[in-house]
Chain A
Amino acid sequence: MDYSADKEDEKNRLQIEGMIAAENRALADRKSEEELCECKDGMFPTTGRRGFLTGAVAAAGATALMVNKASAEAPAGSIEFPVPADPTKEQGRLTNDDGGYGTRSQFESEVRWRFPTATQESSWTMTPLDKSVGIMTPSGLHFERHHGGIPTINPASHTLTVHGMVDTPKTFTMADLHRFPSVTRTCFIECSGNGLTEWKQPTLKTVQGTHGLTSTSEWTGVPVSTILRECGVQDGAAWGLAEGRDAAVMTRSAPLDKLWDDAILAYAQNGEALRPEQGYPLRLMLPGYEGNTHIKWLRRLEISDIPFQTREETSKYTDLLDSGKARQFSFTMEAKSVITYPSGEMKLPGAGFYEITGLAWSGRGRVKRVEVSTDGGNSWQLAELQSPVMPVCHTRFRFPWRWDGKPTIIQSRCQDETGYVQPTIKQLVDERGLGGHAKFASIYHLNGIQSWGVDSDGSVKNVHQY
């Protein structure tokens, strides 16, 4: 293949190769920790190194200086403290000595890792779904996508202006927005590029790599409909432009019907203000739409009769088909599920009982059911769903499995409340072609069934199985 005449594929190839390298670096870090790990269960090797430091740091009389020094070696989001030989024989750390805002345990080290794009300003990170439990994503592990870095914004000087085809254009301070009646909703955000490496062949090894561009938080804010009524929308209006206050001044158009229906101006996430990397102090939530439309650092909403045809909805986030035509405004994230445990690069210690667990979600509503196959898709059985099952929200499923120790393939597939059943990757490719990408297929909206191969030695690998 002549890559010189093949810029887009060349770019994809370099990205994918870079991503494979990034995942390998993360796996190498894990492996080095595993070698120091006493547990040897091999399934969750991220636990370990910190525990081994027991006794290596003076147990008593640790000064603040020592803590600071040690914390430089602690996993992100934690502080390294000396580990006493017996915590029942001495007093623990002082109450509220953390300044009033806690950190996670120094023994927990899972982190987002970054897709190795050319610049760190325009890049993204993946949520470590491997160890995820329940449905919530910790705020600090929520996946990110930035186009111009993460702006530092003082909320005291931040405003949202609503204008265009409205009776009264208005500007709202953050204080104004907090005075309106609020709504809280738990929902997922998924990047439509989630799984972009997996169209044609199994490429990345872990579920963090294959599915880590989805996360769930509890979001609180003001319904956009409230603000639209406050301004008065004029006849003929049909679209709204959302604009961010980052260096990319990110924009996407959204149908006005969606803005009326369930859009939220979110200022809070998981019980506190938004994280800066999630749009602090204000982001647009369009539940069930592709993540790119959930404009962060929102400063402007312009109501119009037609879409604005921004770069992000023409050059990007369009789905080129083999015919040469591209689907545009393909907003909805369709029903999808994935087994997070056991998943790629884990190693089962032997035959016996395992609780298969994973996540299912749909941009069209509630997950109605999840089925699991432990024989490569020959037979399917219902999994148990964690309740409550909320619309447009990660839904945790669990399935008891007695592994006989023989090689097999495990899969999950879900159905949402519209009746839509998660397709196979092959069905998607047959319908859409490979997006004109002869080698790397389409980029966006891969919601096919994920397969994990389990080998006789217990090792779990990303495989394609139709």
Chain B
Amino acid sequence: MSDQKLPPNEQPPKSASPPGGGITRRGFLKGAGVTAAGTALLEGVQSFHSQALAATHSDVKEYGTEPVAIQLHINGKERTLSVEPRTTLADALRIQAGMTGTKVSCDRGACSSCTVWLDKVPVNSCMTLALDAVGHHVTTIEGLSSGDQLHPVQVAFVRHDAMQCGFCTPGMVMSCASLLENNPHPTEADVRYAVSGNICRCGTYPKVFAATLDAANQMTRKA
């Protein structure tokens, strides 16, 4: 994913490449990573990494610190954003795209407040580079409902009062909705697993469990 191809019109500026095409920090780190894997891990792993490297090396894009224009597919719409290559998906969504429903709390993947879906898979957007989201479908809390029609998990969260301060709620809802997309008949243990990475400091978990199970029932009944 880190070697995501950019469309031609989003090529990074030339100045971003080091002169002479010599050793780059990124290339060095990548090579070092493969070497370490090769010596320390199974042969098969090395082989996989080598193949991946061989297949993509010529396509590797190198970036400097300057902002680059990228296109992100967010909630069904294409958005062109200008981001520094180090920008996380969370910051790109919140600051560049102005979509602040996604929250950042720990900023290192420990609390899941920033959960969004990449191609329907929940990820921590604070641990995902915006560049790595290019070419994927990003779904945020703003895109979970369609118009005024809330997702059944959102309806159930309100009905069960599965929130207090509400700061964890968008991430919690995204985790629970993802569960139901993949498992229409979850048990409470499944719900606990789905939100095991989501921290709620107000301690609203019991109602999160109840709301999600209720939403599953509602969805099954409608289906």
User: Do A and B come together as binding partners?
Assistant: no
B interface residues with partner A (beta carbon < 8 Å): none
Chain A interfacial positions (CB closer than 8 Å to B): none
